[in-house]
Amino acid sequence: MALLDHNNLGDEREWGRAFTVLSAITHGYVWQNGGNNPAKMIPKCLAVPLVAAAKHIGGCPVVSWWPSMLNNWKIKYETRPLDLRNVEMQSLYTGSKDERWFFLIHWQIEIQSVPAIKSVVAAHKAVLDDNPELLRACLTTIQKTFQIMKTSLKRIYEHCDPAFFYTKLRVFLSGWKNSKSLPDGIIYEGVSTKPLKFSGASGSQSTTFHVFDAVLGIVHSRKGMTLRDPEKKSIHSR
């Protein structure tokens, strides 16, 4: 491939689209032979524009939650409701129904989280205004939203086989940090002569859940999840 000239990109939408497409092509190239035989170098034609796009967007030159999920969908029909039936993913690795469903379910969970996120903002104001009734209403909305999101997550098994995810799709979302296949990282030709290390895509990168953890005082560790009081040690663990 010829070197793609990122200097031709214009507005933020073009930069974002370039980042999504370039990161998908890059991971498709690196992991095309499977997890045990990846490419050791990203060719210059991909590496240079990918790094430039990532720098412009403010991310790392690797597949992550934003390019693979949040910036990777489009509405089919503008006049129809915004739901699973009216949305499709754009850049895919296998093109299978399992992959489409995997991403669509996560898209739906992100959309469904909106009422809870709005309630987080309102709850903060309720605390400042000493308004217990509003705070109670906000916490109720957050709880109900969590139940809706959990119900959607369980639907992932309807069209996405776990074996497909672990043996086919997951490898394409892998990065090259703490990787058994690429322990030293990967060389970005035309960018660095030394291997670079970046983590791949993970649902844990969703800022939605970080917001909820922060507002509910949830701290994650290797031993589990803990609810902490700012004045004391943990309230309880689960």
Collapsed DSSP state (helix, strand, coil) of residue 73? strand
List, in sequence order, every residue forming a beta bridge with 221; answer none if it has no partner: 224
Instruction: Tell me the whole-structure pTM to 2 decimals.
Output: 0.87
pLDDT in tens, 206-222: 999 999 999 889 988 87
**What is the mean pLDDT of the segment spanning 112-133?**
96
Contact (Cβ atoms closer than 8 angstroms) between residue 159 and residue 169: no
The Cα 96–Cα 164 span in angstroms is: 10
**What is the mean pLDDT of the segment spanning 95-122?**
96
List, in sequence order, every residue forming a beta bridge with 188; answer none if it has no partner: 42
pLDDT of 113 > 80? The answer is: yes
Domain coordinates of the chain in residue numbers?
6-210
pLDDT in tens, 1-35: 889 899 999 999 999 999 999 999 999 999 999 99
The C-alpha angle with vertex 93 and arms to 87 and 96, in degrees rounded to 5, equals 60
